[in-house]
């Protein structure tokens, strides 16, 4: 074995150890719950106690397109224990993730569909998955992962994986207008822009930011230059629908294939971004 090969193998082993340590530290991280401006750190035992015990749930895993089972606590019961009825009236429940993903889940969806805040696989398998929506990227799911009882709920399956945040490290009740004022459509925006904002909030804002507000997992889309200004007409919509048809090995997922009227949804998202290009605000 030559010196270069040996050095390469040592680097790979060191990287493996580093990733293992990072994964272990992440899994041990408590959940931060924002309560009236204060932060409460919750470990698994406390979460289970607040939610009335541990349970398991079998779901159709949208990241892998197969059935999987998970163990955790009822998300609705945990929210009720932490916030009382206030969570039902909130603008959104925010799930903050270690990788920069930031999901804003409508309380109405949580009221309509049971969900589980999971911390391990139900079959004893590693708490990881191969994210088929992101080029089969291997991801650690812990410390917590929001999963939905979707086997008998086609409307949940049609939404894809946008409301399935993993690596959850914090939750809070938020009002979108207050939390993210710089992403709101311009005053007087037409119906297409308003629809585009609603779709962008559900499918894009979790990873991307506009004027510095939103997710921190993927690039800013409006400041200092709007994505609509440096992509030729037509390409942005194609990128939203089928990113892998444009860039090899990209980890950006397209709009869910099961989403009704997905081409019209992509057009509305493009219309929203075009409107925001005239309303840049410094982050």
- Which DSSP string corresponds to 155-174? HHHHTTTTT---SEEEEEEE
Q: Would you say residue 196 lies in a domain?
A: yes
* pLDDT value for 16: 47
Single out the residue of 170, 125, 130, 123 nearest to residue 146, CA to CA: 170
Same domain assignment for residues 25 and 103: yes
pLDDT of 28 higher than 80: no
Token couple for 5: 């090969």
**pLDDT, tens only, 157-186:** 999 999 999 999 999 999 999 999 999 999
Same domain assignment for residues 191 and 118: no
* Helix, strand, coil content of the chain in percent (nearest 5): 40, 25, 40
For residues 20 and 22, what is the distance between their CA atoms, to the nearest angstrom? Answer: 5
Token couple for 53: 């015990």
Same domain assignment for residues 74 and 35: yes
Q: Would you say residue 134 lies in a domain?
A: yes
How large is the average pLDDT for residues 109-133? 96
Q: Would you say residue 8 lies in a domain?
A: no
Q: Would you say residue 9 lies in a domain?
A: no
Residue 81 is part of a domain; what is its CATH number?
3.90.420.10
Same domain assignment for residues 71 and 160: yes
Same domain assignment for residues 192 and 144: no
The total number of structural domains in the chain stands at: 2
Q: Would you say residue 5 lies in a domain?
A: no
Q: Would you say residue 13 lies in a domain?
A: no
Same domain assignment for residues 230 and 139: no
Answer with the residue of higher pLDDT: 222 or 134: 222
For residues 59 and 197, what is the distance between their CA atoms, to the nearest angstrom? Answer: 29
Q: Would you say residue 169 lies in a domain?
A: yes
How large is the average pLDDT for residues 20-34? 71
Same domain assignment for residues 162 and 55: yes
Same domain assignment for residues 195 and 252: yes
Last residue of a domain, one of 123, 154, 177: 177
**pLDDT, tens only, 217-251:** 999 999 999 999 999 888 999 999 999 999 998 98
Bridge partners for 92 per DSSP = 174
**pLDDT, tens only, 49-107:** 999 999 999 999 999 999 999 999 999 999 999 999 999 999 999 999 999 999 999 99
How large is the average pLDDT for residues 202-220? 95
Same domain assignment for residues 72 and 138: yes
Last residue of a domain, one of 124, 148, 177: 177
pLDDT band at 11 (very low <50, low <70, confident <90, very high): very low
Same domain assignment for residues 200 and 157: no
Residue 235 is part of a domain; what is its CATH number?
1.10.760.10
Same domain assignment for residues 140 and 265: no
Last residue of a domain, one of 144, 177, 210: 177
DSSP output for 188-232: T--HHHHHHHHHHHHHTTTT-EETTEE-SSS-BSSSSS-HHHHS-
Q: What is the pTM of this model?
A: 0.85
Task: Give residue 89's domain range.
Answer: 18-177
For residues 70 and 146, what is the distance between their CA atoms, to the nearest angstrom? Answer: 10
Percent of residues, the chain, with pLDDT higher than 90 = 83
Same domain assignment for residues 207 and 223: yes
Single out the residue of 53, 71, 58 nearest to residue 153, CA to CA: 58
């Amino acid at each position: 074995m030559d010196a270069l090969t040996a050095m390469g193998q040592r680097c790979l082993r060191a990287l493996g150890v580093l990733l293992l340590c990072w994964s272990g530290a992440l899994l041990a991280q408590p959940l931060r719950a924002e309560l009236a401006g204060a932060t409460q750190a919750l470990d698994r035992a406390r979460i289970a106690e607040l939610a009335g015990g541990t349970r398991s749930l079998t779901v159709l895993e949208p990241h892998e397109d197969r059935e999987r089972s998970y163990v955790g606590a009822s998300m609705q019961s945990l929210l009720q224990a932490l916030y009382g009825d206030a969570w039902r009236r909130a603008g959104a429940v925010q799930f903050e993730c270690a990788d920069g993903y930031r999901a804003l889940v409508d309380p109405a969806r949580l009221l309509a569909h049971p969900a589980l805040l999971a911390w391990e696989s139900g079959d004893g398998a590693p708490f990881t998955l191969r994210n088929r929506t992101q080029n089969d990227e291997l991801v650690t799911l812990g410390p917590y992962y929001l999963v939905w009882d979707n086997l008998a709920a086609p409307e949940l399956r049609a939404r894809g994986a946008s409301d399935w945040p993993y690596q959850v490290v914090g939750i809070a009740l938020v009002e979108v207008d207050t939390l993210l004022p710089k992403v709101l459509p311009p005053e007087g925006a037409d119906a297409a822009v308003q629809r585009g904002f609603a779709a962008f909030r559900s499918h894009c804002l979790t990873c991307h930011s506009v004027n510095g507000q939103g997710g921190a997992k993927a690039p800013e889309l409006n400041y200092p230059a709007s994505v609509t200004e440096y992509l030729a007409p037509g390409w942005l919509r194609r990128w939203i629908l089928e990113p892998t048809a444009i860039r090899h090995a990209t980890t950006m997922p397209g709009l869910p294939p099961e989403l009704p009227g997905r081409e019209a949804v992509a057009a509305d998202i493009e219309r929203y971004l075009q409107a925001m290009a005239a309303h840049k605000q410094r982050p």
